Every structure is written in structure tokens, then in C-alpha cells.
Amino acid sequence: MSGASRSLRQPGLRGMVVGSALLFVAFLAAWQWLPTLCGIPPFIIPSVSLVWQEFLHMLTHDRLVFHTAITAMQVGVGFILGVMLGIVCGFALGMSPSAEFVLSPYILALQIAPKVAFAPLFIIWFGYTVYPKILVCILIVFFPVMINVLGAVRALDPDIVRLAKSFTANRLQVFWKIEFPAAMPPLFAGLRIAATLAVIGVLVGELVGGNIGLGYLLAFGEGEGNTAMVFVVIILLTLIGIVLYSIVAFAERRVLHYLPSRARLPT
């Protein structure tokens, strides 16, 4: 019997799954009938059935799959590059106090600056291509990953490092055996945050200067006053974020399986 099957047989977990499913059904029912009962017109809040009809229409007439794939690709690429850059900078600054002192003000200024302001600049530089969207995504993803890795390296007990060096461990061994494993839990916490922000970064770029992607469809639906189309796009953007977050959570369970909090099943 697989681990997933054993988990679903546990009464506590099974009850949570059933409760979540019932809550979802209740939400859909409220969305379908409450706006009509409250006298809210469909162009303000369309019902679930209208949103579903618009979804089917967009599949056949608006190349919805193509636009969704473009946005998902940009989110994935921007997330991976932003995470890699955040990890490298986090370890570099954490292991070099002088580098942290010199570079931290500039990194902080980059984070404080509104990311929306960079999107038009990137479009001027790179045109209406995928690069501005990916760059905005990288900027948004980079900071939470870098901060979490930097905090983990700072918090490492220096006595552990000195002990490893007393056993003739070189700098690479100290990093690989001590510093890198110690940074894993905070790193995955940063990845969870970054996964929820990556979609926002790409969406900002597509809204400012996109001719493809879900952001383009969102702006098109807003211009037409097509609320159902806007709802379809919002739902698809949410699903992309959920998938990315689920991938991060799955990788976290696999990598950090040795932690007690990861090993315990819900009761």
C-alpha cells in the first residue's frame, strides 16, 4: 500500500479532505446563486455557469491554452532564475561580512523601489518580449530567498564551524556539510513566499507591456468590460501559483524529510 493511500485512510486527514471539499462546493453554490438573490447584475459578479461558458469560449476563440502556457513558462523561468540568484547572493553575503556591508544598502534600495516602475524601463530596453516579464519576476522572487538564506548563515553557531575546521575541514567542506544543510529550512520558507509572488511579477510585466499571456487577456477583458473573462484569467493565474507552490511544498517534504515536523502526519 502506498504512502498516499495510508495517509488517506487516517480518520483525521480524511475528515479534513471531506471538509475542504464541502467548503469548496458551498463556495461554488454561493457564487452561483447569491449574486442573483442579492440583485447584483452579471456584469459585476458573473455566476459560475457564466464563467464556465466564457472559459469554454476562450478555449476555442482566444487561444487560452497558448496564453496560459506563455505565462506559466515565464513564471517558471523567472522563479528558477530568481531563486538561483537569491541563493548565491544570500550565501555570498552571509559568508562575507564585508560584502554584506558594501552591498546591502543597494540590495535594500532595489527591494524598496516599486517593481511596477521597473516594468516600463525593461520594456524600453528589451521591447515587447518575454524578457521584461521574466526580469520583473526575478526582482520579486530574489529578495525573500536571499533574506532567508542570509539569515540562516548568520544564525549558524560559529563554534560548529570552528569545530569542523579543527578536524581539518576545508572551506568547501564546511559549506557543503554545515552551512548549506543549515540553510535548507529557511530556504524553503523563502521559496514558499517566492512561489506566491512569482505570478505577480509576470502579471505586472504583461499588464504594462504584453501582447501575449494571461496578463494581456486580463487587460483585454477589462477593456471590453467582460467580467467573466477577467474571472477566468484570475482563476488560471491562481492555479499557476497553486501548482508552483505545490511543487515547492513537495520538494520541501522530500528534502527535509528528516525533520520531525515533516515526518508527523496530521491527526
* Average pLDDT, integer, range 63-80: 94
pLDDT in tens, 248-263: 999 988 888 777 654 4
For residue 178, the SS3 value is: helix
φ, ψ of residue 205 to 5 degrees: the values are -65, -40
- Predicted confidence at residue 261, as pLDDT, reads 56
- Predicted confidence at residue 217, as pLDDT, reads 93
Grid cell 575541514 in the structure block, residue: 169
**Domain map (residue ranges) of the chain:** 1-38, 46-263
pLDDT in tens, 225-235: 899 999 999 99
- Predicted confidence at residue 14, as pLDDT, reads 81
pLDDT in tens, 93-118: 887 878 778 887 887 887 788 877 88
- Predicted confidence at residue 264, as pLDDT, reads 42
Q: Per CATH, is 46-263 categorized as 1.10.3720.10? A: yes
pLDDT in tens, 140-163: 999 899 989 988 888 877 777 777
* Average pLDDT, integer, range 158-181: 77
CA distance 217 to 210: 9
